Chains A and B, each alone.
Chain A
Amino acid sequence: MRSNDTIKESESLRGAVREVVCIVCPNGCRIECTPGRDGYTFAGNKCKRGAEYAKAELTRPMRTLTSSVLTVFPDAPVVSVRTNGEIEKATIPDVLKELKRVTVDRRIQIGDIVIENVCGTGVNIVCTTDRLVNPY
């Protein structure tokens, strides 16, 4: 049984060598990342994209965040939203706090901006549903 805890423990025992499971394509390469003087060296990745992904994961992991925000409309008490680009994984808790502060009071549609430049990331929070405007 490999729980997350045991994986972390084995990583720390091997020093700073870390394993990243690549999610760029279905191959799911297990990439061994060894830190060196000129950054990481990667082993186990079948293509260049794997190394790029592993490097980003270890230095500045990026994510698209999807969530929902409250509205004033009883027929749709929440609408789904997302970042219209990737944000740093570390900023997710701050962005979530911003989402909790918002209540949508206009019948917005897909692509409409809910929060501009959220938490200074340069990325907007946009609406991802037409449930407020489309009878379907």
Chain B
Amino acid sequence: MVPMTRYDVAVIGAGPAGLAAALAADKEGASVLLIEREARLGGILKQCIHDGFGLVRFGEKLSGPEYAERFISQLPGSGVAVSTLSFVSGIERVGESCYITLITREGIKRVQTHSLVLATGCRERTSRQIGVHGHHCAGVFTAGSAQYYTNILGKLPTRRCVILGSGDIGLIMARRLTLEGAEVVGVYEAKPTPSGLTRNISQCLNDFDIPLHTSKTVTRVFGDQRLAAVEISDVDERMRPIPGTETIVECDALILSVGLIPENELAETLHVPIDPKTKGAIVDENNHSLIDGVFACGNALHVNDLVDYVSESGETAGRAAAKRPVTERDLAGIACNSSLLYVVPQRVDKNAANAERTFYFRSSCDMDDATLTVLKDGQTLHTKYYAHLRPPEMEHLRLTLTIDALDGSSPLLFHLEGTKHAQ
């Protein structure tokens, strides 16, 4: 007989979102189990040894492990039960309960909970997902893997590398590898503009004279056992390689920073509806998914650029997950047109009208003097001005919606207008 333990709330994943969710649910008086696959808590923060974390939340520029420790150190004084080296092999939702099967060092365990918080983070896009062709050889890493080798194992994975993609982790790794003595030949970005934060372009690339090449991509890799060179091509405005522009760059590693995708394997087994724009769960303002009792937060919900907002998102989910009994929801839709990449949450509860809610969004392109308009049936409810909007930099809007604004079946529409950057 597999032993069954009961908790009010189970949180899956003990990165910044899960840690914040577990502590918030505990503060609300719920019994909480925090489940982590790895031996140590903190998630990706463990290997993010650069600083800049916590500026919004703590007013300090902390390193990743220091930021995580601010939360981990609260666990012993809380009632949160922690289960590390525990792998969730299955979840079932039956009636008002979730049944979780866990593989742990002590064997298989079963956990019954009222609420489930998915804080499973995100995964890096790999070379196979972006169509890099050529030889099968060692030396092609995601930026996160290169970061793990360098910062956790203390092994330098390259002497001379090319970085494809200008996402933040790629930029951070360009600096990190340079500091450790590797040569970063250049950062190549298929898009006409860099994907990372301006501060990272400035402090990771410009500080070390690492060139950034936009509208170029890696089209082939060469190498017998180990990578020996990559082929770089110019791309057109639709990011297709232009024949005849190929150049060969010798290197022993290709490091990929080509995007992050929310991890939703467990959400899918529960048939949690997913937003094709964020690739995370569709949620209301409490990060409550469309399945009652199942919550999602952090990078599993949508990929964030600042950990401070990941923690905030975890706390929102944790607080709401602790509430019993679950009150009936009457959800109104939130939509955006193509001027935005996405808006989160995608639903709001009509029963909680007149409460202030925070909406997170990204513009679909670089914009100056932008105005965000919230419309209902063609009528403007709210406008807010933003001096600059860039897709890599998430923005938020705090908004109080009246009962009238949420009435009816048509969604609230988010729309952006501004001066687009010439590219």
Q: Interface residues, chain A, CB within 8 Å of chain B?
A: 1-5, 21, 23, 26-28, 46, 63-68, 70, 77-78, 80, 82, 89, 92, 96, 110, 128-131, 134, 136
Q: Contacts of A129 on B, CB cut-off 8 Å?
A: 46, 49, 63, 65-66, 69
Decide if A77 touches B153 in the complex (CB within 8 Å): yes
Q: Contacts of A80 on B, CB cut-off 8 Å?
A: 49, 63, 65, 151
Decide if A136 touches B151 in the complex (CB within 8 Å): no
Q: Contacts of B199 on A, CB cut-off 8 Å?
A: 23
Decide if B151 touches A4 in the complex (CB within 8 Å): no
| Shortest distance from the beta carbon of A55 to any chain B beta carbon, whole Å | 16
Question: Measured between alpha carbons, how far is A78 from B152 in the docked complex, in Å?
Answer: 6
Decide if B213 touches A78 in the complex (CB within 8 Å): no
Is B400 in the interface zone, CB < 8 Å from A? no
Q: Can you spell out 14 A-B residue pairs with CB atoms less than 8 angstroms apart?
A: A4-B209, A4-B211, A23-B199, A28-B388, A66-B49, A80-B63, A82-B49, A92-B179, A128-B65, A129-B49, A130-B69, A131-B40, A134-B72, A136-B40
4 closest A-B pairs by CB: A78-B154, A80-B49, A129-B65, A23-B199
Decide if B49 touches A128 in the complex (CB within 8 Å): yes
Q: Contacts of B390 on A, CB cut-off 8 Å?
A: 28
Is B224 in the interface zone, CB < 8 Å from A? no
Interface residues of B in 209-243 (CB under 8 A from A): 209-216
Question: Measured between alpha carbons, how far is A77 from B63 in the docked complex, in Å?
Answer: 19
Given contacts A26-B393, A64-B51, A68-B151, 15 further A-B contacts (CB under 8 A): A1-B216, A4-B211, A21-B202, A23-B202, A64-B61, A66-B50, A68-B49, A68-B154, A70-B154, A78-B154, A82-B51, A82-B63, A129-B69, A131-B40, A134-B69
Q: How many A-B residue pairs have CB under 8 A?
A: 94
Q: Contacts of A78 on B, CB cut-off 8 Å?
A: 151-154
Decide if B151 touches A27 in the complex (CB within 8 Å): no
Question: Measured between alpha carbons, how far is A21 from B216 in the docked complex, in Å?
Answer: 23
Interface residues of B in 51-75 (CB under 8 A from A): 51, 61-63, 65-66, 69, 72, 75
Decide if B50 touches A130 in the complex (CB within 8 Å): no
Decide if A128 touches B202 in the complex (CB within 8 Å): no
Is B78 in the interface zone, CB < 8 Å from A? no
Q: Contacts of A28 on B, CB cut-off 8 Å?
A: 198, 388, 390
| Shortest distance from the beta carbon of A28 to any chain B beta carbon, whole Å | 4
| Shortest distance from the beta carbon of B284 to any chain A beta carbon, whole Å | 27
